[in-house]
Amino acid sequence: MHTSQSQHPLRILQVLATIVGCCLAPTVEAADTAGPFQATGIKIGEVTDAGALVWARLTLREARNPSDGPMVRIDYEDEPGAGRRERTVRGVVFPDGVTVGGLREAVPGADGDVRVRFK
């Protein structure tokens, strides 16, 4: 089937609008329950006239951790003359009692299902 150039971008926009609408619907419903949520939103890429890749990630909480939360400390080897990006990392030290999910601006994932529907 042949489509004109003017119909092709319109069809892509229709598909994207439908996908976004369907993917955001679980977020609205989840706000009334205990989760899971979609704090990182969705991403849509590689759109063609026949399909699109949709990335969705369920999260444990509605929003990312605060930006003033705890952060790791990175220890470097003492290498005289080495530039900032050239230094060897000796280790990463987490604050006491903090895991990756508790770090500044982290968004821990959650188990669940996501459905994407489009017409």
Residues 61-82, mean pLDDT to the nearest whole number = 90
Where is pLDDT greater, at 23 or 112? 112
- Which range among 23-32, 36-45, 95-104 has the greatest average pLDDT? 95-104
Above 60 in pLDDT, residue 42?
yes
Query: 22-40: per-residue pLDDT in tens?
Result: 544 444 444 446 778 988 8
pTM for the model: 0.56
Give the pLDDT confidence score for residue 16 in this predicted structure: 54
| Residue 12 token pair | 């892509």
Please give the Cα distance from 21 to 59 (Å, whole number): 19
pLDDT of residue 118: 76
Three-point CA angle 101, 57, 37, nearest 5°: 75
CA dist., res. 16 & res. 41, Å (int):
14
Q: Which helix (H) or strand (E) holds 20?
A: helix 7-30
CA atoms within 13 A on the CB side of 50: 2
